[in-house]
Structure 1
Amino acid sequence: MSSPTTTISADADLITLVNVFTVPPERQIELADALDRATRDVFLAVPGFVSANLHISLDGRRVVNYAQWNSEQQYQEAMRRPDVREHIAEAAAIAEAFDPTFARVRSVHRPDGQKA
């Protein structure tokens, strides 16, 4: 099985889930660790999952998950799985709030002028 690869390109036929979690600063790393575990232990084997990239804010108040899926339907099917729901519940219990948003890449700009 090949490793997931993040492709940020307007030409990629992928759905991007950008989920911004708000968290008390003292729990930011705990939440990032929980999301890391969920990705490693569950999502890597879920059909339709492409990649996940976790970012922690410098102020300690947010964790951002930039995840790619083959389709919104496959994401919705994954959300019905008990193992996925268990990990989502763990993250939700740590976070104060979260704001998942589906998006498609509109454009990518690079200083070297290469098209992504």
Structure 2
Amino acid sequence: MPIITPDNGSLTVFNLFDTVDRDGQKTLLDTMQGIIEGANYPGWRSSTLHGGLDKPCAANYIQWRSLEDLQERYEGENFKHNTVPYFSELTTTVHLLKTEVIATHLHHSLEQIEISTERDDFTVIVIMGVKPENQARVVDLFAKPDESMQEVPGYRSNSILRGIEGDFVVNYAQWESREAYETFHNLPEETRSAQARAMRAEARPLLTSRSANTYEVVFSRSATDQPAGGQ
């Protein structure tokens, strides 16, 4: 079961895909699951496939041992000449985001942040664009724990990841339900904690863009798992 932590040294890659409709999403998810079931690449640690809820899309949360291992995969002839063209046909947009986990926050009832089909998390992935000179400050703002989140109904965890290329920050969040997330997301600003208001006020002008999608985990496999049909 994949664990999100800044302590394991993993390079985390978000493969984000948009599709035209739900039929396209299903084809994409089925195809990606087949690839994950047979994954056996040097340095690959885990892949967790997410299906989009608000719109037809998919996200693959992938953990690699190192950037060098990822580059070896991306530079392979099969990946460049078969995998990339095929996914280009299945999708309308593709984003491959290389990140590292900087900080994790979790409800005190949890011991660690797990991502798998054995859980029922309502997942939100937020991509925040920043200028390279502002990335470190944005990361610091979001990485600071906010104890008031412990009292928010339905909150489970969120993880802050720094984009390796320097121009974005990711917030990967788990909630008990859509209702719990939307209730929190739509809170009037004056009802938030003083720390949250100060953080949001400083971070807002530093962002060049913000996009958010909601997901459910549909398949997950780690390198320590047996491949489908394995003995």
The bucket for the TM-score relative to the shorter chain is 0.7 to 0.9
Matching residue within 164, 170, 180 for 1:74: 180
Q: What TM-score does the superposition give when structure 1 sets the normalisation length?
A: 0.83
DSSP 3-state at the match of 1:96: strand
**What displacement does 1:3 show?**
4.6
Task: State the alpha-carbon separation in 1 of the partners of residues 112 and 179 from structure 2.
Answer: 20
Tell me which structure has the larger Cα radius of gyration. Answer: 2
Q: Is the 8 A contact 1:23 1:61 kept in 2?
A: yes
DSSP 3-state at the match of 2:160: strand
**What displacement does 1:43 show?**
2.4
DSSP 3-state at the match of 2:161: strand
The answer to whether residue 217 in structure 2 is matched with residue 105 in structure 1 is: yes
Match of 1:83 in 2: 192
Q: Residues 42 and 102 (structure 1 numbering): CA distance in 2 closer, same or farther, change over 3 Å? A: same
Task: State the alpha-carbon separation in 2 of the partners of residues 109 and 28 from structure 1.
Answer: 31
DSSP 3-state at the match of 1:91: helix
Q: Which has the higher contact order (CA 8 A, sep 6+)?
A: 1
Match of 2:109 in 1: 2
Q: Residues 59 and 90 (structure 1 numbering): CA distance in 2 closer, same or farther, change over 3 Å? A: same
DSSP 3-state at the match of 1:33: helix
Task: State the alpha-carbon separation in 1 of the partners of residues 143 and 111 from structure 2.
Answer: 14
DSSP 3-state at the match of 2:143: helix
Q: Deviations over 1:24-58 (max 9, x none)?
A: 01111111112123x52432331111011111011
Q: Deviations over 1:58-104 (max 9, x none)?
A: 11101011110001111111121531673445433221111111101
Q: Residues 33 and 41 (structure 1 numbering): CA distance in 2 closer, same or farther, change over 3 Å? A: farther
Task: State the alpha-carbon separation in 1 of the partners of residues 205 and 147 from structure 2.
Answer: 18
**For the aligned residues, what is the CA RMSD?**
2.3
Match of 1:17 in 2: 124
Matching residue within 72, 94, 109 for 2:206: 94
DSSP 3-state at the match of 1:108: strand
One-letter amino acid of the counterpart of residue 118, structure 2: D
Task: State the alpha-carbon separation in 2 of the partners of residues 50 and 107 from structure 1.
Answer: 20
Task: State the alpha-carbon separation in 1 of the partners of residues 173 and 203 from structure 2.
Answer: 15
The answer to whether residue 162 in structure 2 is matched with residue 50 in structure 1 is: no
Q: Is the 8 A contact 1:5 1:50 kept in 2?
A: no
One-letter amino acid of the counterpart of residue 65, structure 1: N
In structure 2, runs of 5+ residues without a counterpart are: 1-107, 227-231
Q: Residues 61 and 5 (structure 1 numbering): CA distance in 2 closer, same or farther, change over 3 Å? A: same
DSSP 3-state at the match of 1:43: helix
DSSP 3-state at the match of 2:222: coil
